[in-house]
Structure formats: structure tokens, C-alpha cells
Structure 1
Amino acid sequence: MPDSYQAVAFSRYGDAEVLDLLELAVPEPGRGQVRIGVRAAAVNPIDWKIRSGALADVMPVELPHVPGIDVAGVIEAVGEDTQGFAVGDEVLGKALAGSYAEKALARVDRIAAKPTELAWELAAALPVAATTAHHALDMLNLTPGETLVIHGASGGVGTLAVQLARRRGATVIGTASDTNHDYLRSLGATPVRYGTNLGERIAATAPGGVDAVLDTAGHGSLPELISLAGVPDRVVTLADFSAGQLGARFIAEEPGDMPAILAEVAGLAAAGAITVPLTSYRLADSAAAHRASETGHVRGKLVLIPD
């Protein structure tokens, strides 16, 4: 086996052009860890927010830094205490750091077996979005017959949250730009346009009222969304850091049952019961993927494929 591998990294904060291909030494997995030969990775907004330096005060990284959390691939080495996993297993999950690479380390409590029939690209698109969406719906204690508003419903988390909420028997109203309205309808959500007077448009769409809100978009809409829900503790956000001041709930922690959630959602995806639109890039074109993500208008997920 080669003693080095290619990874995309940045050695200074900046725009997407700071991303570059580097040769790194192959890491050995520690206790409770496996090394994955990466078949696909996915881009999340937090990746470029870290790269830009916008989060340097709260989430500093050691430079050079390899971005990326979402990963799908084949286990090629195992550390101690990795019962249930072996070399050759196909898995998906969250890398410790650095999935924009040919190889990545992951803890066994953050991965699950990949169904054979699940495509690599879709497998890589699921971990962050699926566990976040699932965890948010659990935090909201969503029950059948309730009406849920998902603010920013056409992105990765929103796409999965719509489908998982519909499977729980909820009525879903999703906010998005006009170009994504037909897409949201195809997922089973009623679309509402972003922008000024958002609360009025949602209220008109939900004459029976709104029971819960998941905010994936931010943009200062949280006070309006809380007003719609009536009580702040039935509003969860992953995009607005003012949540605590307003009484809403911010998703800051990971779910404790991550392997079970990954297995559940991977099974649904393999069976065609849920779907995520994908746009694929070569690993070497990670800068282009970041620029696309930074527009804020991605439908579904962006996926990186090592050569």
C-alpha cells in the first residue's frame, strides 16, 4: 500500500482558491477507529465557513486542514475495539475530519454498514443531513397530524427533513425560492416563497396553525418563525445563533444513536423510499463545489469523487 495519499486542504483561511491538493502520510487508526478508502465525500456549508475563517474564533483548525465530514467508502484498516467492523466492509458515516481525500479516519460510533445496492454518491450525501434532520424532528417531538414548517427546505438537511417528517405523518410547509417549488411539491411539501412578509404567507398557507418549525436557513427569520409556532421551544434551528436569546433551540450536539439513524436512513435510501438530488465533482474540483455551496441555492447535496 502507498505510504501517502491525496487530500484537498487549505493552509490559510480565504476564498475557495486556497483549496489545494496535497500529499499526506497515510494515518493509522487508533482505538475505536477505522481507516476508510474514500469512494465519495460530500460538501456541507460548514466546510466553507471554516475555510473562509468566518468560524475561526469558535472553531479554529490546525493548518493545513482537510475539510469534510460526510464519507462513504471501504474499510482498509481497523484499530483496537472496533468490533462489528472489518477490513473490506462498505460503510458510510462521519469522518473524524478530512473526508475530502482518498483516505479518512472515522470512529466506529459514527459509521454504519452501507447497503450493497446504495450508490456511493448517495451514501456520502446522507450522514450529516440525515442525522441532523432526524435529530431535529426528535427534538421537536413531531407527531402525526401536526404541521411543520421547514425554513430552507430544498437544501440537504431540508430535503431529508421533508421526507422524514412526511413519513411521520406530518403536514410539511417548506420555504424556498420559486425555482424550487415544484421540487418541494415532488417531496410532499407545500412550498412558500422566501422573503419579506414570510410569516404572513406561511400563516395563509396553514389556516389551522403551525405546530413546529425547523430553521435550516437563518437569514434573521427566527422571530417570525417563533411567532408562527406560538412557543419558542417548538422551534429548532441549525443556522441562527440568536436562538438561545429568543428561547428557541439550537442543534449543537450530535444524536447519541448515530449508527442506528445512519442505518435506518441508508436502508430507506437503498429502497428508494427517500431521495436526495446530487451534483458530483471530482475531488480536484473541490473549489468549484465550494463556490456552488456558497451561493446558498444548492438543491440537495454536492458530492466529491476521488479519481
Structure 2
Amino acid sequence: MAGFLTRLLITYFIGAVGGFLYTWLHLPLPWILGPVTSLLIYKLVPNARTTASLRLRKVSFSILGIQIGSTFTAATLTTVVPYLVPYTVLTLLLIALSLGSAYLITRWVKLDVTTSLLGSIPGGLSTVLALSESFNGNTVLVTIFQTIRLVAVLFIIPFSATHLFFHQTQLTQGAVLQQAVDGPPWTGILFIAAFFIGVLLQRWVPASLVLVPMLITAALQINEIALFQLPNSAYLFAQLTIGVYLGNSISVKDLKTAGRYCLYFLCLAILLIATSFGFGYLFSSFTNLNTATAVLSLAPGGLIEMALTAQSVNGDPSIVSSLQMIRLLTIVLILPFFLKWLFKKLQY
């Protein structure tokens, strides 16, 4: 136990160094990307070991869900509903492009179709891994390919969005801080209840630790119930914990194991990101959404990261998280049935 705590403290210290460095350099998502970077560099040291706490990760997911939920207003629902059909169509096109490209990869390299297609799905990691087991894919390679996509999304999209919409950044940060209305401290009990409901629903609701607190907080916000505002330090610690979790879970050894496959799936991730940006501009052109919100809503993965990025570049994090939730539910609820049908077709 003492060894675990010592290693956990060392891991958090290294992650915090990365967070402070990213903050000092004014880089995007400093308390998520900073720890990921510093821990990956640390892992290059021989015999370097890191660890992460599952309990802290669960609490942190819920805290960030609360943070995103607190940005919702009554106008969010009326804004999102008209965009559901065009957004879903663009999301399905993005998924189709991903699966089609992954199929082409199997024509160029010796890789089974099941593993390639599952490794290319833009989001829903836990669901994808479960599908890999049920469809007899190579789960190790699927995990690595999904990790490559995750790393590409985490680093490319926030940096790109920050530079594309940089002129709007300062204006938004001030606006977000002014939106918060502090409620009585006892309402903090509602956040605790939301966390435990999220824990109870983990088996049935995808990403329940984020979605359940987010939806409960959003419902209270929409009904204009003043909630206790968590201190900024709680949100920063939650982001640090997620950064530590990601940095700990990404293995340099696994990336080496995948070898040349990594390059193909990195190129696929970049193609998806570029296409999602193009779809985002198209989406913003026939809706009332600003470009930042539309682009980040269609980005392939990371509901929390995309919502936080939206908050820093004058996007609307409530709309981004609402639409990203639809993308996640599409992948979790619809895609498994489609893949089951597709794999049967490919076998004949």
C-alpha cells in the first residue's frame, strides 16, 4: 500500500510539472495534455513506473461532468434539437469514412479486417474493446490503434482549434466565469448523489460517470435552480487526474509492438480529424452555430476534452457536449448491430 501511494504521488508530481509547464507556455488543455506529455517522457526512462487511482479517476470524471453540465441553459435544448438530423448524418458519414479507410488498410498490409475496423472506430473505447472480444479481433492491436487515435485527437484538435479561433479566446474565458451563479452549499449534496447514480448505472449507460452528473446538473441548470459552485481548484485537480490516467494508460512499449501499423492508423486519425473540421465548417454554414462549436461537435472523440476546448475558444461547451453525446450513443447503441451484420457479410 505504501509503495502504491509513493508511486501515485510521484506520478501526480510528474503530471503536475507537465501541467504547470503547459500553463506557463499558454498551451491548450494544460492540465490534461501537460500530464500526458510529461508522463510519456518519463516512461522513456528505463524501469520508470507510473500508476493511477481508479477511485480518483471516477470522481474526476464526475466533477468534469458537473463542470460541463453547469454550462447548460434553457436555450441549449432549443438550439440543439433542430440540428439533430444534419448532425447525425454527418456523424454517420464520418464513421463510414473511418470504416472504409480501415478496410482499405487491410488491402495494403497483413491485418485482419475485424481488428482494422474496430481499431478505426472514432470513440467509445470500452465498447470497442468489448466488441473486439466478441468478434474475435486482436484486442491488443485494437487497444493500440484506439490509443493512437486518442493521442492524435487530444493533441491535434486543441492545438488546431486554439490557433484557428485564437482571436476569440480571451473574450470567452471572461464570459464563462461570469455565467456562474453561486447557490447554497447544501446543493453540493446533489452532486454527490449524481456521482453515485453514475456509479450505479455504469453497466447500462455508456460513460455514465460523465454523462449522468452532466445531465443531472444540466437539468437543474435548465430549471434555473442555483447550485453550489465548486472551486476552480476542484476542476483543475479533476483535469490533472484525467491527464495522469491517460498518461499512465498509454504504453510506449505497446506503440512499439504495433510497429508499422501505427503509421497507417495515425494517418487515418489525421484524415478523420481533417474531415471532421471540414464537416464542421459545412455544419456551421447551414446552422446558426459558430465555427468553433460546430467543428468541435464533430471532432472524433473526447467529450470532456472537446467541451473544455470549446470553453476556451468561444465555443458553446453545452452544445458541444450535447452533440458529442449523440455521437457517442450512435457508436455505442447502433454501431455494434451494424458491425455484426457487416462481419457476417465479409465472411461470405
With normalisation by structure 2, the TM-score equals 0.22
Higher helix content, 1 or 2: 2
Instruction: Give the structure, 1 or 2, with the largest relative contact order (CA under 8 Å, sep 6 or more).
Output: 2
